[in-house]
Structure formats: structure tokens, C-alpha cells
Structure 1
Amino acid sequence: MPKSKKRAKAAPASKAAAAQTGLSRRSVLGGGAIGSALVLGGGFWGISSFRTYAAEHDLSRVGDGTLAVVQIHDPQCPTCTALQKQTRRALRALDGCGLTYLVADIKTPEGAAFARRFNAPHVTLLLFDGQGGLHRRVQGLQQAAALEEVFSAHKAALT
């Protein structure tokens, strides 16, 4: 019998709490739909993010007819990460300049082999023509403004 009294007392208290907070069963269920949409939206973002990551790491794209900038990159190196940010900033500023940005992650077998093939240490950008010929290398951390000039000159020389 004491259990039913506790339940009886608990029910009005939760209804009172719901009334004070403005929550009802219907609003909670509606919120669940919004939460589901957010989770699904996050899933789509995750898929899109993965596709971008995979495309950036697809080194077979070098020589596919478009000019390419390949960063020799160690993801655990802060200088590499800083160079990556500056490179992306420079490419965004040039807005659709026709350069493909790729990443040779030296922690992967493909990325390490690519770096060895071109004898390039990490914190290096390699600039390729559309047929995959190496035209220029930029070593060390560079600011976005300087990279914009390098990328513009590379494109102008090859188009």
C-alpha cells in the first residue's frame, strides 16, 4: 500500500513540474523530432566531411588534367597543421582558381610513398601541372598572402 501512495504523490508533483517548465508530452516528442533532425543533419555533415577528406587524400588525382597543390603533411606536426590552414586560406582567397588541393599524409603508406617519390619532407607544398609534372616546391611555414602569390604565379605560368 505505501508504494501506491508514493506513486500517487509523485504523479501530481511531476504534472506540476511540467506545468511550471512548460513541458508536455507533446512538446517533448516534438523536440525529439528536432533532435532526430539534428542528429541526421550531423550524419550528413559527417558523410560530406569524410568525402572531402577522402578526396583530399586521393593522390591518384595528381596528373588528372588539373593543376595540383600537394601538401606533404604529418597530422601530428603543429607546423604542418599551420601550413595547411594558411594554404586553405590562400586557396579560398583565390576562389575557384582551378588548383586542386591534395594532402599526402606521411602517416599513411600512400602518403609516405608519395613523399619519398618526390624526396619531400613534411611541411612542404609541391605544385604540379595537369600532367603530374612537378614544377615547384615550397618548404616551411608560409603566410596565406605569400601563398596566394605563389599559387597565382603557378597558374599563370601553366595556363
Structure 2
Amino acid sequence: MKKQRKRPAKKTRNTNTATTAPAKATDRRSFLGIGLVGAVAVGGGGYLLTNMVMAGVAEQDLSRVGQGTPAIVQVHDPSCTMCQDLQRETRAALKAFDDDEITYLVANIKSDAGAAFATLHAVPHVTLVMFDGRGNRQAVLNGVRDRAELQAAFARLLGQ
């Protein structure tokens, strides 16, 4: 039996005359530019997160009741869907008023201060307690209300 020879592969011509661009090497300046953009993005995100946390902390500062501005305190359980609905409607209703007209606060019943507030005023969660500027209780709204009803109640609190 004869040994078979391997045939050499046929050479093909490259008919494509277009060449691909060589890969662009990342130089130091472009790397620093990417780093700068990343640092600005992280810094901006940190700033926004800090503002959100500070706003949440300010909303839970119940000592702000009776400081000269009428206040609305929501007795709130974070795990309660009805409380979340009331909070959503309350925030929507408050958009009709200036920020310095009414102070909106949250008494989280999972915290010691929030539970003490609810006990002191003998109210359950899903409740809004409204105070005048001197801290005198003016009204209590139990249950979820729509934003139109809440706007009317807030206007009465302000004497409008």
C-alpha cells in the first residue's frame, strides 16, 4: 500500500481590500478622563443619596411639632400597604401647598419615638394627626383618604 501525500492547501486571495482599523490603545489621558467621569458619577450619586437620607431623618424628627408651623404627623407602619397608600396620597396633596406652610412628619411605629407618639395620642397606624403652629392637636384622620379630601383638610388646618 502506498502512502498518500498530503496536498498543500490552496492559497486563496484576499479580495477584500478594506482593512480594519487597528485597536486603539488606551492612553493615560483617556484613562484619566474615564476615571474623572466615574468619580463625578459616584459623587453625584452619593450627594443624592445623602439628601434622601437627610430628608427621611428630618421627617422623623417629631420635636418639630409646635415650632410655629402647622404640622401633619402620619402614624406609619413601613410594612403596612394601607400606610404606604396614605403616605402617597398625603405627599400628593401636600404638593398644592408651599413647603414652608405645613410641616409633614412621620411617626414610624417601629421606632421608640413613633410608638410613644402613637400611644400618647391614642391613635393607630394609618392615621394623620394635625397640629397648629403651637402644637395643639386640631384634627385626626383615620384610614386612607384621597388627595382631594386631604387637601381640603390641610386647607382647613391653615385656616384657608
Question: Please, what TM-score do these two structures have when normalized by structure 1?
Answer: 0.81
Who wins on radius of gyration, i.e. which is larger?
A: 2
CA offsets per residue over residues 102-157 of structure 1, 9 Å max, x none?
00000000000000000110000000011111110011111111111110111017
Residue type at the aligned position of 2:123: A
2:157 aligns with 154
Residue type at the aligned position of 2:26: S
Residue type at the aligned position of 1:153: R
Match of 1:136, SS state, is strand
Runs of 4+ displaced beyond 4 Å = none
Distance 1:156 1:59 in 2: 23
RMSD: 1.8
Matches within 5 A, 1:25-104: 25=27, 26-96=29-99, 98-104=101-107
Residue type at the aligned position of 1:32: G
Residue type at the aligned position of 1:125: L
Question: Please, what TM-score do these two structures have when normalized by structure 2?
Answer: 0.81
1:24 aligns with 26
Identify which of 115, 118, 137 aligns with 2:118. 115
Match of 1:80, SS state, is helix
* Unmatched segments (≥5 aa) in structure 2: 1-20
CA offsets per residue over residues 28-52 of structure 1, 9 Å max, x none?
4312211111111111112111111
State whether residues 128 and 134 of structure 1, in contact with CA within 8 Å, keep that contact through their aligned partners in structure 2: yes
The structure with the greater share of residues assigned to helix is 1
Distance 2:69 2:48 in 1: 27
Number of equivalenced pairs:
139
* Unmatched segments (≥5 aa) in structure 1: 1-14
User: Shift of the alpha carbon at 1:97?
Assistant: 6.1
Match of 1:89, SS state, is helix
Distance 1:95 1:63 in 2: 18
2:137 aligns with 134
Match of 1:37, SS state, is helix
